[in-house]
Structure 1
Amino acid sequence: MSDDLDTRHNEKMKRIKAARTRMMATKTEEKGLIIVHTGAGKGKSSSGFGMIMRCIAHGMPCAVVQFIKGTWVTGEAEFLRNRFAQECRFFVSGEGFTWDTQDRQRDIAAARNGWEIAKEQILDPDVQFVLLDEINIALRYDYLDIDEVVDFLQTYKPPMTHVCLTGRNAKPELIEAADLVTEMSLLKHPFKEGVKAQKGVEF
């Protein structure tokens, strides 16, 4: 019985491999992607910073523009600034969450400053990947104009530059314009059980 099961498994894997090889042969295009990480679940920024690590490993110059989280001392900021400052530029435009600043005009000004920095990094021919961390929050509250952001990405982003935009509640216009969209869903979170954000996990 075991030999028959192994034989069927091997035959099935051969068919899958052949089909996969045929499919991969049709995937020949290369382009800079517009990537969106959104949803209520944890992992949006974490995934974005994972791609930053990949870029560094591949020798691809990259940049981070961090919206909203400005007052946090995050592990990713410390790591990149202290160890990979030459490989990855790191900018912070936010002054903290909206309930921290309690000043809408300051939040708008910070977001717009971050967007100006973001555009400079995206247009820089030396930068191949730009992470716009938590920009979706700025877009959600209309601190930035969604039409302006989408138009810039579709019209002015260099063809081979990747841009990743993270944050909850990505606007439909951005989702429509993106090449790759991932929605992190929330199944369970320790915060609901009274556990505060943990170093190394949340920041």
Structure 2
Amino acid sequence: MNIEQPPVNRERIIPTGERRGLILVHTGNGKGKSTAAFGLALRAHGRGKAVRIYQFMKVPSARFGEHRVFETLGIPIEGLGDGFSWKSKDLEHSAQLARDGWERARATIEAGEHFLVVLDEIMYPLRYGWLPLEPVLETLRQRPPHVHVVLTGRNAPQELIDLADTVTEMGQVKHHFTAGVPAQRGIED
């Protein structure tokens, strides 16, 4: 490890723009995309802001760790799908669930009642062609100016990256699964 000196002089950048709702994208092949979005949800909720979370691939009856804690805190979290595509018994049904779920999420964004809306795992239905990209982009462009939206999932489309205010790409350096260690409750859920 290289030891470095802590910075003592730093040019301070003072923003000149107005505060406004942001579009944040968490993408990439590494772990942590949903976790980072949930962290933002907790931060906003902790400041008394209204938050709503939609999960495009989770089933409505999902009871993962995040569901349990968000329910305890009073943060609405809703599964919109029927599980990951490799578990689906009917891909057209999965696609319809994604489209119906998008309409719910779109209505929430447009209503402007929430400070933060999380669209977790939305990249999957976009990539699979279950959701057309343009209506999602249009909703993000036309949303009320105070609404922040976080979108998560691998392989975010370039058009979404271009529109976003902040894009973070999670990169996998090492993953326990490749060493044969299975998923563990409290880490992956």
Q: TM-score, normalised by structure 1?
A: 0.86
User: Which of 39, 42, 56 lines up with 1:50 in the alignment?
Assistant: 39
Cα separation, 2, equivalents of 1:102 and 1:170 = 26
**Secondary structure at 1:53 match in 2:** helix
Residues 126, 132 of structure 2: 8 Å contact kept: yes
**Secondary structure at 1:148 match in 2:** helix
Residue equivalent to 2:151: 165
Query: 1:173 offset after TM fit, Å?
Result: 1.0
Larger radius of gyration: 1
The structure with more helix, counted as a fraction of residues: 1
Per-residue deviation, residues 116-174 of structure 1 (Å, max 9, x unmatched): 1101211223211000000011101011001111011112x110100000000111111
Residue equivalent to 1:74: 64
Residues 62, 79 of structure 2: 8 Å contact kept: no
User: Which of 160, 163, 177 lines up with 1:177 in the alignment?
Assistant: 163
Cα separation, 1, equivalents of 2:100 and 2:50 = 22
Cα separation, 2, equivalents of 1:196 and 1:29 = 46
Once the two structures are superposed, the pairs formed by residues 60-99 of structure 1 within 5 Å of their partners are 60-70=49-59, 72-81=62-71, 83-85=72-74, 88-99=75-86
Residues 118, 151 of structure 2: 8 Å contact kept: yes
* More off after superposition, 145-154 vs 45-54: 145-154
Structure 1 residues 125 and 72: CA distance shift in structure 2, 3 A: closer
Cα separation, 2, equivalents of 1:65 and 1:72 = 12
AA aligned opposite 1:48: A
Instruction: Provide the aligned C-alpha RMSD in A.
Output: 1.6
Query: 1:72 offset after TM fit, Å?
Result: 4.5
Residues 72, 96 of structure 1: 8 Å contact kept: no
The alignment of Structure 1 onto Structure 2 pairs a total of residues equal to 184
AA aligned opposite 1:63: R
**Secondary structure at 2:52 match in 1:** strand
Runs (4 or more) in structure 1 with deviation over 3 Å come to none
Cα separation, 2, equivalents of 1:102 and 1:192 = 27
Cα separation, 2, equivalents of 1:176 and 1:57 = 30
Residue 20 of structure 2 corresponds to residue 34 of structure 1 = no
Cα separation, 2, equivalents of 1:152 and 1:56 = 23
Query: 1:36 offset after TM fit, Å?
Result: 0.4
**Secondary structure at 1:143 match in 2:** coil
Residue equivalent to 1:124: 111
Cα separation, 1, equivalents of 2:145 and 2:120 = 21
AA aligned opposite 1:57: G
Residue equivalent to 2:121: 134
Residue equivalent to 1:59: 48
